[in-house]
Structure 1
Amino acid sequence: MASITMKNIVKEYDDGFPAVNDISIDIEDGEFVILVGPSGCGKSTLLRMIVGLEDITAGDMLIDGERVNEKPPRERNLAMVFQNYALYPHLTVYENIAFPMRLAKGQFSEADVEEKVQKAAGMLELTEHLDRKPANLSGGQRQRVAMGRAIVREANAFLFDEPLSNLDAKLRGQMRAEISQLQRTLNTTSVYVTHDQTEAMTLGDRVAVLKKGLLQQIASPRELYEQPANLFVAGFIGAPSMNFLPGTVETSSTGSMSLNTPLGQIELPEHIAAAGKGRDIVLAGIRPEFFAEASTVDESKRGRGSVFTAELTHVEWLGNEQYGYISYENDPRVVDTLQDLAHDMDADDLRTQLVVALEAMSRVRGGDSTDLWVDTRRIHLFDPATGENLTRDEEAGAELTRLAAEDRKRERERSAAGA
């Protein structure tokens, strides 16, 4: 295993375009870090620079403290799992897994090869498939073979380049769980590239969010979700996406503060309102699960939020939950900001609608008006001009990442004890 350190890494192509622009990340020994972002954000380029398949224009790449900028891939002892599996069709599963050891001529005896291949096959449930060819395997089995080949190398780190993007949704979920369990069992430093934020949130110890070659935020999944640094991170992380509702902070005659929005007044806690006071307009970031039908909220809890009335255009029932949709007229002062955000996130458009979570048993339907409660303590206010999160609590966010690191350490210790 090894640590990986990136210091002010830059990748410029011949036309001067910076695909990766001044990125610094420290990956600890045994840590699982996800690089996530939309297409063209630089995540795969950064991964290829780690492994040595892409030249570094500026900055330093260190593996276990040693600068490796000029080292060829074969001298970095890193194992890469590709999107297209990169298996040899004429070789059996056994020989595909054994291939890295065959390549290191003289370093492994036949007994060593047999032991390592059988062990990896057992871990990946491939033992009964060792005599088959890749063409006769399912997509998930091929991906396991590619991972087996990485395991037998006993590499310092595993690098994954969108390994699940060719699989269907159900199989992706299964393979996510297998990769997560494998990484905890082996405790090998891992860097994983994906554009799928669900993969990022479920797999990583920490997640690095990239946009246009720039690092936006690196933190535990929970910190990214609860304390996003900016509008892009808030919108990209989470499904369904965070709602962005335009509004202006106002003070009533009684001294209470509220957000005047296209859907009416939403009362705000003083510390949140203070962040947006005096600004012409802000964007209120409100996740769908921050809402509930007011009739289902306990009286003791009601005072921690605000109630407003809205008409739902339609409802989606998903079995264990429902989502209601509310249309509103957007404020022209934030239209360009939201269009730019949609473009940055590879979305066609950010529709002017609010998505609210409803209980699975709710009978509210499209066309109905209902009273909705929103947990105003969890609202974030963003500056539409800069995208800055005006209400981010950096200390609370750092504590979330620290606790996540403690939890993962405890989990790894249990896995090692049971191995």
Structure 2
Amino acid sequence: MASITLKNLVKKYGDGFPAVNDVSIDIADGEFLILVGPSGCGKSTLLRMIVGLEDITSGDLLIDGQRVNEKEPRERNLSMVFQNYALYPHLTVYENIAFPLRLSKGKFSQEEIDRKVRHAASTLDLDEHLERKPANLSGGQRQRVAMGRAIVRDADAFLFDEPLSNLDAKLRGQMRTEIAQLQRRMGITSIYVTHDQTEAMTLGDRVAVLKKGVLQQIASPRELYEQPVNLFVAGFIGSPSMNFIPAHVRGGVFVTPLGEIAVPEQAAGRLPADDSIVLLGVRPEHFEDAKFVDEAIAARGTTFDARFTHTEWLGNQQYGYIRYQPDEAVQSKLNELARDLDADEMTPQLVVSLDASSRIRGGTEGRIWRDTRRMHVFDPETGENLTRDAEAGAELTREAAEERTAEIERARQEQAAAG
């Protein structure tokens, strides 16, 4: 295992465009770090720089404190799990897993190779498939073979490049769980690239959000969700995405297309001058059909009446959609944000979570409650979250680190007890 340090890493290609631009991250020994962002944000390039498949234009890459910029990939002792598995179709599962050991040319005896391969196969539930060829395996099994090949190398770290993107939704969920459990049992430093924010939120100790080669925020999943640093992070993390509502600051209220909202306590003293325009960020789950909100909770927010274009019922929950009049003063900024998030434009609509029993339907009006305590206020020009509580966010990440350490220790104790 190893710590990995990225110091001001830059990657420029022939045209001078910085695919990775001044990225600095300290990855602790045993940490599971996720690199996430939309297509073209530089996450896979950054991973390839770490493993040695891309040259570093400037900056320093350290593994366990040793600078490795000029070292060949094989000298860095890192194991890469690729998106397409990179298995040899003519070799059995056994030989695919054993391949990196045989490349060592005499370093391992046949007995050692056999022991390592069978241990990896047992860890990944591949014992019954060792004599099969990759073409006869399911996508999930092929992915486990690729992981087995990484395990036998006794590498200092695992690097995953969108390993689940070729699997269907059900298999992705299953493999996500298996990767998480494997990493916890082994406690090995892991860096995982994905564009899927569900993978990012469920797998990582910390998540690094990238946009156009620039690191936007690195924190625990919960800190990213509850205390995003800017519009981009707030819009990228969460499904459905955070709602962004244009609002004019007038005295002690926000004037929005959905009525007036009293400026909440957390926003007081942090707002620009009167008549300025801000964007209010409210997640769908911080709304509810007012009929399902008791009086004690209702006092913590405000209500408004709206007509719904349609609803989506999902069994245990449902979502309602409300269109509103766009504010031309900020619509271009919202469309720019949408393009950053791989969409064409941002529709002026609100997505609200409703109780599964709510009878609100498309074409009807409903009274909706919103939790103003959970509302964020963003500067539309800079994208800055004006109501971010940095101290509270850092505490969330500290708590996550402590919980993670305890979880790894429990996993190791259980493994030791099982022999």
| Alignment TM-score, normalising by the size of structure 2 | 0.98
CA positional deviation for 1:244: 0.2
CA positional deviation for 1:307: 1.0
1:274 aligned onto 2:269: yes
CA positional deviation for 1:258: 2.3
| Distance in 1, Cα, partners of 2:405 & 2:215 | 25
| Distance in 2, Cα, partners of 1:386 & 1:22 | 20
Q: What is the letter of the counterpart of residue 34 of structure 1?
A: I
CA positional deviation for 1:186: 0.6
1:294 aligned onto 2:290: yes
Q: What is the letter of the counterpart of residue 404 of structure 1?
A: A
Q: What is the letter of the counterpart of residue 201 of structure 1?
A: M
CA positional deviation for 1:123: 1.2
Contact 1:85 1:142 in 2 (8 A): yes
Q: What is the letter of the counterpart of residue 10 of structure 1?
A: V
| Distance in 2, Cα, partners of 1:217 & 1:179 | 24
Give the aligned partner of residue 311 of structure 2: 315
Give the aligned partner of residue 326 of structure 1: 322
Match of 1:392 among 381, 388, 391: 388
Give the aligned partner of residue 301 of structure 2: 305
The runs of at least 4 consecutive aligned structure 1 residues that moved more than 4 Å come to none
Deviations along 1:191-221, one digit per CA (max 9) or x if unpaired, are: 0000111110010000000000000000000
Could you list the runs of 5+ residues in structure 1 that have no partner in the other structure? 252-256
- The 10-residue stretch of structure 1 (103-112 or 60-69) with the greater mean CA deviation from structure 2: 103-112
CA positional deviation for 1:348: 2.2
CA positional deviation for 1:381: 0.4
1:335 aligned onto 2:319: no
SS in 2 for 1:119: helix
| Distance in 2, Cα, partners of 1:171 & 1:122 | 20
Deviations along 1:321-375, one digit per CA (max 9) or x if unpaired, are: 0000000011001111111111111112211100000011111111111111111
Q: CA RMSD in A?
A: 0.9
Could you list the runs of 5+ residues in structure 2 that have no partner in the other structure? none
Deviations along 1:372-397, one digit per CA (max 9) or x if unpaired, are: 11110110000000100000000000
CA positional deviation for 1:233: 0.2
CA positional deviation for 1:129: 0.5
Q: What is the letter of the counterpart of residue 360 of structure 1?
A: A
Contact 2:140 2:171 in 1 (8 A): yes
Q: What is the letter of the counterpart of residue 394 of structure 1?
A: A
1:122 aligned onto 2:117: no
Give the aligned partner of residue 397 of structure 2: 401
| Distance in 2, Cα, partners of 1:207 & 1:62 | 20
Contact 1:197 1:237 in 2 (8 A): yes
| Distance in 1, Cα, partners of 2:43 & 2:136 | 32
Q: What is the letter of the counterpart of residue 89 of structure 1?
A: P
CA positional deviation for 1:273: 4.2
Contact 1:78 1:155 in 2 (8 A): yes
| Distance in 1, Cα, partners of 2:84 & 2:371 | 44
Give the aligned partner of residue 254 of structure 1: none
Give the aligned partner of residue 108 of structure 2: 108
Contact 1:258 1:273 in 2 (8 A): no
CA positional deviation for 1:275: 2.2
Aligned length: 414
Seq. identity, % = 71
| Distance in 2, Cα, partners of 1:246 & 1:100 | 56
Matches within 5 A, 1:16-415: 16-251=16-251, 257-278=252-273, 280-415=276-411
